[in-house]
Amino acid sequence: MRRRTLLRTVLPVAGAGTFSGCNGLFDRGSGPDSGSDPDGTSGSTPTPTTTAGSALPYRAAGAPSLDRPRGVLVRNLGSRERFVTLVVADGDAEVFVASRTIGAGEEQPFPGLVATGGRYRTFVETADGARRRYDWEVTDGFGDLWVELTPGIRVRRPALCTPDCRPLSTDGTTADAYRLPADIDLADVLDGRPAVALDNDGDRSRRASVRVAGRTGTVLDYDYEVPAGVRAIVPVAPPQPRFRVHVRTDAGEIDREWLPGVRSTIYASLRGEPRLRCGLSGHDLRVLNETAADRQVSVRAWSSGERLFEGSFALDGGESRTVPSAVGPAGLLRFRVRTADGLDEAFDWGFCAPNGTIVVSVSDAGLFVSVQSAIGPA
């Protein structure tokens, strides 16, 4: 068996309607969009109305007004289109109901749905059977609700920390050179600006310490108390080609090198022992037989002892097979590729892989692993 570092050429592939870079635009504004979609299938932004036909945003009697109306953004982070139904309710009253087909790597905003704070029941269901109920706590200080199809359903309340965002931020320091625009928002941060996102996937609040260092030393060192279901997004300034990220919780700590030019946002999961993820969407896996002979190929992928994928493929000459969302967006990816006729190699990826399809190819020259990079979701 031989072991190699993954350094094969990355092929850029752009697609219409996909996100810019690794992340899309969020918090698009406070008012309803003027677009219409009478049959509910085109994926365009609907004109928001309540089920009773009255115009949105919805205002609950006696509830506090928000600084601006909040909506829901649905992101399809998978590699195939999804048909999704969204319901927002205030008690027994339906505030909003809509169904849309969302293409792979595309997003569907439903802006300006509610203008008053409170707890709203949110239901999301896809045609392939995935469903999620979420009690949406709407308050100032958080952006629009994010629903991510992964291909499961993940829901987040985003909060921008620059890096202070009390009451989430509890203490911290930044370098003298740390500077952000005064009017920075979530769209600016996620449209290519380096950022660390703290994801609390658990059912209780978690405290996390974040330290980011660059070539000139520590850039920021901050502590956060992240409520359950919240994504705290901390932009990093000034941009540098390479950072070191350290995240510590009461359950453990993790330290990782980060290249923002490959993945502009790095995600720290705070559920259990902290883990750093390179993105939100899993990689499709394509196994390609570039030879004329039939080949039996086995592929195993893991990261930090966690198995991400294991499978075998019987391929005719020139045949390929693709498994959607097969490999999670972990860093430090490792692969073991073997063929029935004796080829056996291991590949190490020491940094975040670019977003795109991982291609395992068998050729007359040997075994190779590469990433077919795509402009799309994180």
Whether residue 41 has pLDDT greater than 60: no
HEC states along the chain?
A: CEEEECCCCCCCECCCCCCCCCCCCCCCCCCCCCCCCCCCCCCCCCCCECCCCCECCECCCCCCEEEEEEEEEEEECCCCCEEEEEEEEECCEEEEEEEEEECCCCEEEEEEEEEECEEEEEEEEECCCCEEEEEEEECCCCCCEEEEECCCEEEEEEEECCCCCCCCEEEEEECCCCCCCCCCCHHHHHCCCCEEEEECCCCCCEEEEEEEEECCEEEEEEEEEECCCEEEEEECCCCCCCEEEEEEECCEEEEEEECCCCCCEEEEECCCCCEEECCCCCEEEEEEECCCCCEEEEEEEEECCEEEEEEEEEECCCCEEEEEEEECCECCCEEEEEECCCCEEEEECCCCCCCEEEEEEEECCEEEEEEEEECCCC
Which domains does the chain possess?
Answer: 2-14+281-373 (2.60.40), 23-155 (2.60.40.10), 161-277 (2.60.40.10)
What does the pLDDT read at residue 309? 95
Q: Residues 53-74: pLDDT tens digits? A: 567 899 999 999 999 999 999 9
What does the pLDDT read at residue 112? 95
What does the pLDDT read at residue 329? 86
Of residues 89 and 330, the one with the higher pLDDT is 89
Of residues 58 and 20, the one with the higher pLDDT is 58
